[in-house]
Amino acid sequence: AAAETKYSRVLLKISGEALMGDQGYGLHPPTVERIAKEVKSVHDLGVEICMVIGGGNIFRGLAGSAQGMERTTADYMGMLATVMNALAMQSKLEELGVYCRVITAIRMDEVAEPYIRRRAVRHLEKKRVCIFAAGTGNPYFTTDTAATLRANEMNCEAIFKGTKVDGVYDCDPRKNDDARRYDRVSYDEVLQKHLNVMDASAIALARDNNLPIIVFSLDEPGGFRGILAGKGTYSIVH
């Protein structure tokens, strides 16, 4: 891609909660727009972008099953929630002039394309943002696992995990003043110390394929583009 960054193809993972703003639930269109602009500014560099968006702002399988719902059904509901978030993001991106495809792991042909690996690669080559929705299509997984799976399949150079904090800490920096941030941390240390990055299956899948995970804050304006250029604070899991 451009001289500003060494990356040519990346995957951005955000949680569903990143789209709810201060509402505590659901979608907040101005927040969706703010994040879409972050994506556009990286797309403007010529970087090929995959996205995976969670569904926790609408429904989580574990929460449903904790309240007595059958687990797999609850998980399918969670996967459907991610499709709503993906559609919201697609619509904002296209409003901003960024061509985009929502690609789902569960067929719903009237709504979005089914996942066909080679077709998705072609979209990326044509500089369309690919938003991978419906997770892996399987219950008992998360969108973190889906992000790691798709990043591997699409040969992304790294996963960028946009969060509320600017990296990986030894404990929650919003609750502990003396929390320490790691510049670099190994997959194994993340697993052993149960550091809050992604769930264990996702970390293991990244480790086994040498896929770096870069954790950064999505609250900084221009943050995503800065991180791609190696500026700002972030942590690398490698």
Binding-site residue numbers for UMP are 55, 75, 136-143
Choice from 43, 50, 78, 213 touching ligand UDP (CB under 6 A): 78
Applying CB under 6 A, does 56 fall inside the site for ligand UDP?
yes
The residue number with the shortest CB distance to ligand UDP is 54
Choice from 1, 2, 45, 62 touching ligand UDP (CB under 6 A): 62
Report the distance separating Cα 32 and Cα 30, nearest Å: 5
In the chain, the N- to C-terminal Cα span, in Å, equals 23
Binding positions for ligand UDP, 136-195, rule CB under 6 A? 136, 138-139, 141-146
Please, which residue, 5 or 211, has the CB nearer to ligand UDP? Answer: 211
Closest of 153, 123, 160, 126 to residue 137, by C-alpha: 153
Cα radius of gyration (the chain): 17
Please, which residue, 5 or 102, has the CB nearer to ligand UDP? Answer: 102
Report the distance separating Cα 55 and Cα 138, nearest Å: 14
Applying CB under 6 A, does 51 fall inside the site for ligand UDP?
no
Distance (Å) of CA 66 to CA 62, 71, 211: 6, 9, 33
- List beta partners, residue 10: 49, 158
Q: What is the DSSP letter of 235?
A: E
Residue count at the site for ligand UDP (CB under 6 A)? 24
Applying CB under 6 A, does 75 fall inside the site for ligand UDP?
yes
Applying CB under 6 A, does 54 fall inside the site for ligand UDP?
yes
Choice from 32, 41, 61, 197 touching ligand UDP (CB under 6 A): 61
SS3 9: strand
Distance of CA 167 to the CA centre of its chain: 15
Q: Which residues here bind ligand UDP, judged by CB under 6 A?
A: 15-17, 54-56, 60-62, 75, 78-79, 81-82, 135-136, 138-139, 141-146
